Structure formats: structure tokens, C-alpha cells
A and B are shown apart, each in its own frame.
Chain A
Amino acid sequence: MRLTKYEFKHCIGAMFEMSTADARKILPAHLQPLEVQHTRSVLAVLAFQFTGSEVGEYDEVVLSVVTPPRVEPGKPLPQAAFYPFMVATSTEAAREHAIERWALPHHMKDLDFSFDEADGQMKVGVYDDGAPVLELSVSDHSFRDVDYPYHCFMMRGDQRLKVNIYMNAAHSQHEEETGELVLYSHPMTDPLTIDEVSSYPFREEWYGSGIQTFEEVEQI
């Protein structure tokens, strides 16, 4: 099996409550949203600072709806599963690569990113010609080395796709509700009713320097 690896300096993630009605509109028919609470689904926001890949260094932000993983006997048990509905990167090469190989839907324009770390907190800003698209902050907890499997679902036309992703890095997560998300009106956030997205994460995750490994895409 061919593996694709991406080295990253930081991966910052957080999960927010969103409207299940929005989640259902975003998801293809074969996927269901995972509800954290009745009528409240999960928006995952991930920001990467990639330092090594086939397409060089770049930054990336991924907006996903969290879904149940495909839990099967004898298969690696994923920590979570995602359906990315909007990805943005800082380079055209990274964008084309991810569309071609992973069928990930992208905002078709280079965006600017800032990663500011201080006092156990990381603030990520995403900008479109200087205008803010989103601002995300998370705080750390105790770090431990992990190699977590995840499922990522995609669509290419009518094809239902899945890829197994492994995150290998020092990892911290907590639910202290210390982070924050500010979403701005922008084509990236159009699928969301912004007022329905909670402004604080119920879960914050932080991967230190590490490797993201993709297995091959499979049709499901």
C-alpha cells in the first residue's frame, strides 16, 4: 500500500457545536452527523502548519463535520471520523494536490495564515486578502506521544470515498472550554449558520511536531 506522509510543525484542532440541520445539509446522504447533544452536531476546525510534503511547505485549514467512524471487527479503531466540506491552503500546489489525490473540496484561492504561540495557547488566524475568515485559539494540556487513526470521508462525483489517516505526534486534548472561534462571513463559512456555531470549543486538541500519514483512498 502506498502511504503519503506530511510533516507538520503544528496541528491545532477544536470541536464546536453546530446545528444538526446544517450538518445534514453538508453531509452526503450516506453519512450521518454525530450529535454531541440533541440537535447539536460537531464542527471540527483543524489548522496545519506543514513543513514537509510532496508539494513543499504550506498552511492549511480544514472545516469538517464529525461523523461516526466505520467501526468494524478486526480493523484499527479510529479515534474519530470527519467529512471535510471546506479546505483552504496557502499554496496553489497544495490545493491541486489535495483535490487530485484526496478529492477534498477547496476554497480556490490562496489564503494567508498566522500561528501565534504563547503561554500554552495557540492562536490561528486565516485571512483572505487581509480580511479575516476565521480566528481559532486553543490551549494545551499534558502532551503524550500518540499514533491515532482517523477516518476521513470524501465524495468524488457520486463515488463515496474513505481514507485512513494516522496522526503521529505528541498530542494534548482537553475539554476545559478555554479556546475560542470567531467565524466571519466568507465563502468558506457559507455552509454554516454562523450564529448556530458555538464560540467556544467543547474539545481542544494540539498535535506538536509530527507526521500525518494517509493510506490509499478506498471506495465504500
Chain B
Amino acid sequence: MAAQISNGRRIILKWKKVAVSETNRPSTDNSGEGAISDKNQKDPVFKDAMSYDYSNFFSAQGKDPFDLFEPFGEWWAEAKPQGYYQFELPIHSAPSTRVDVEDTKTGEIRKGLINFASYNYLGLSYRPEVKEAIKAAVDQYGAGSSGSPILSGNTALLQELAQKVARFKGKEAAMIFPTGYSANVGLIAGLMRSGDLVVADQYAHASVVDGMILSKAQSRFFRHNRPDELARKLGKFEGKKLVVVEGVYSMDGDLVPLPEIVEVCREFGARILIDEAHSTFLFGKNGRGVAEHFGMDDDVDIHLGTFSKSLGGQGGFVAGSQGLIDYLRGFSRSRFFSCALAPPVVAGLIKALELVETEPQLREQLWANVDFMQQRLRDSGVDIGDCESQVVPIMIRNDATIFDIGEQLFREGVFINPVKYPAVGKHKSRFRMSISAAHTQEDLEEGAEIIVRVLERNGIVS
């Protein structure tokens, strides 16, 4: 810490962690006269690094964009070792139910951690059949597609995947995107225009928000899962209207109240898009998603999903009418200005989709595992909110302790993602647990035992 004395006052020039204590607080002037004090000057007191977060560094003074870096760097140097290192840990194995993870704080590779962090909900990413299909595609097509899907990147495999997704979803057509993110961005910005209205649930994914921004349409957000608030936001707007909801919300694991939302959309003449990133291939009799779960497949205008979660691959899709897909082909910039999915990835997705269709027992096993874990945690007094899915939030509700608890879980054998502000609200910090059909009873029981033990030790459950 560099400091200098200026006019009798110490000016701290560099970030310094200073504990808040009685001695460095400004004293209270109780004289009743003159709350002005020259003699009682206060030093600037920095909070400890963990009382700040990314949101504090969104902007900075100066004329150079790089002026953002120094204040952030000063903070990051302190904040990273105190907890933020728990993000982006290098994985040294397949994302199976046991995983080898590099501990960047100690340099060790922690082997065989119980994996509750990966999206691999059906355990398909490392299935031998999937890997064999990928190898065969490498032999035939090589590594990449080497072109935009509207130019040279549209392989026969990609076309086959689009057709199979459309058939699986029971829709006329589907379009494949390089990621789920680009699917939302390309769809919303490709469909909605300046002067239109897009209304999304407040917990909608960033890709929905970015699609709204790029569309230049009026944007509104309604209170989470509140059809009455949606109705208020749609109001008396006369133009084109699109409502965006998610099947399963990714931070809370709760479901959209689709029947009520669809009713409001009908009343106000709005089209509805459902993002089933976390629910396609899982929910409903055939695994089509939450819309099928509610028996409302045909009441939803646009279905969107990802391949990176339940299929264990990569990419996203939009499914709907032929007219929708034909139109998007010309207006969905995130698709046609991106390289098409690599053929080996597509081949793996086609095989994974086939397994979803031919092995419904995968979904049965997933829901049995979800029921077991939810019950096990609730019986132990763990707050898992209102989750109704394979995404199970383990609520800590204390931003100051989440990283410390996360480190303990990591060191004791569980790999699970901490989530804190600004990804969720202040003091809505939690661990986001992903349950997979591939988890064994032993995985689940051992993982739950570690989690409960650590939460008890930290006073989160008693």
C-alpha cells in the first residue's frame, strides 16, 4: 500500500483491505452543536474486497477504454484468491458423475469429485455410442464445417439434425444455431423490430435480453412467474407483441406457469416463445419439454432449446412453423454470420437424440434421482427453494460466506457451482446443483452427506 501525507490527511493510493472496526470509524459528535468537524477528519476506509463485486467495475473514469482495467485489477488481485478462483476451474476429465478438477489455489488436481456442476442431465456426452458417432464423423468430415450454414457450412449431417429435431418436437421445421445463446439472439432480433414490444420474465436468460436489445423493440420485463404482471406489461400496446418465458428457470429450477401465461398471451394477442434450454429432452411424456408436460405443445408459437445440456453436446435450435424457419433463414444474423456447428458435434447430437428417443428409461432414472436428492436435502433441513426440476438451488442466502462454504465443499469432495450477486440477487446466493440420470445412488448419497455436513458446520442447517 502506498500512502502519502497531504494536508494532515492520509490518502490511500492503492487498494488496501482494512477491517471495519471501532477505531477506524468516524467518531460520533454528540455535542449537539456543529456536526461539522475539522479536527475529526476521517481516513477513507476501504471495505474488504469481498464487499464489492463485478457490478462495481462496470464503468470507470478516463478517456481510454483501458482505464477500466486498473481499478478492476486492484480489486481482482484481492478478490480472486478469496473466492472468485472457484469459477473457471480447469476440468481434467469428462463431465461425468465423478470428475477431476484443478484446484487453482493449491495447484493440485482433485480427482473423483462428485459432479453436481455439469449440465449433462442424461449423461449422454460420454456415452460410447455418442463417441463412436463423433469419431466416424471426424473420419468423414474432418474437424469443422468451414463455413456459414447459408454458404458452405450446411453439411448433410446438419440438415439431418434439423429435420430430426423438428420431428422430435412435433413441429414443421427447425433451425440449428451454433449455441443456445445465438439461438435466442438470432430469433428475437430476427423477428422483432423497432416499434414492436417484447416482454420477458425478469429471470430470462441473458441471451433473451441481448436479443431484445439487438431487436431495438420496446423491452419490458414482468415479475417472475406472475401472469398478472405480464398482463399489466402488455397493457394497451397495439403493435406486434412477443412474450418470452423459460420452461425451467436456470437459477431456481422452477417451472413456468405455462397455462396462465398462454391465457394472458391469447387475451392480449401476443405470440409466445418458450426457451426450453433446461427442459427439452427431459420433461413431458416424450421428452419434448415443459410445453408437452403441460399438454400445451401446440399453444406455444416458438420453441427454443439447447443441445449443450441434456444432449451433452453443443448448439441451439428453434422449432416452429415452416414459415417461421424460412423467414429466419434470411434474418437471423447470429446464425448466418457464424460458422455452422462442427460435423463431429452434429453427429454426436444426432446419436444423443436417438438415445433420448429410444431410451425413455433415462428420463425415468433422472426423475427418480431428482426425487431422491430433493427429498434427502429437504429432510436434512436444506433450503432448496421451490425447485421442481433437476436444477436444485441450495440456498445459502449469505454473500459473505458462499465462497468459503464452496471451498469446503470442493476440498471435501463435491464439485458444485457457487452463484452469487450479480448472477442472482444480493443475499440470494446459492449453490446450483445439477442432477443427472447418470448419478448412482452412491454418488447421490455421498454427495448429500458431504453437503449436509458442510452446511451444518457453517450453521446453514442445524
Contact = CB atoms under 8 A, between A and B. Distances in A.
Contacts of B45: 76, 147, 149, 166
Contacts of B146: none
Interface in B32-84: 32, 34-38, 40-42, 44-47, 51-52, 56-62, 70-71, 74-75
Chain B residues touching A, majority SS: loop
Contacts of A203: 425-426
A179 B426 CA distance: 14
Interface stretch (A33-41, A83-91, A115-123): A33-41
Interface stretch (A4-12, A104-112, A153-161, A183-191): A4-12
Nearest to B198: A38
A198 B224 CA distance: 13
Interface string B386-398: 0000000000001
B47 A148 contact: yes
B251 interface: no
Interface stretch (B8-16, B127-135, B176-184, B407-415): B8-16
Contacts of A53: 35
Interface in A185-220: 198, 200, 202-203, 211, 213
Contacts of A70: 61
A5 B35 contact: yes
Contacts of A74: 12-14
A179 B11 CA distance: 39
A76 B46 contact: yes
Contacts of A128: none
Contacts, number: 135
Nearest to B213: A38
Given A54-B34, A142-B398, A147-B45, A77 B12 contact: no
Interface in A96-155: 141-142, 144-149
A142 B62 CA distance: 37
Given A37-B209, A202-B425, A77 B42 contact: no
A216 B340 CA distance: 58
B223 interface: yes
A1 B41 contact: yes
B224 to A, nearest CB: 9
Given A40-B221, A77-B46, A3 B427 contact: no
B202 interface: yes
Interface string A18-35: 000000000000000010
A121 B283 CA distance: 40
B25 interface: yes
Interface in A154-184: 166, 168, 173-177
Interface of B: 7, 9, 12-15, 20, 24-26, 28-30, 32, 34-38, 40-42, 44-47, 51-52, 56-62, 70-71, 74-75, 202, 209, 212-213, 218-221, 223, 398, 400, 421, 424-428
Q: Which 4 A-B pairs have the closest CB atoms?
A: A175-B425, A68-B59, A5-B35, A76-B44
Given A38-B209, A74-B12, A79-B51, 17 more contacts: A1-B9, A3-B26, A3-B42, A7-B28, A37-B202, A38-B212, A39-B220, A68-B59, A71-B59, A73-B74, A74-B13, A141-B427, A145-B25, A148-B47, A166-B45, A168-B26, A202-B425
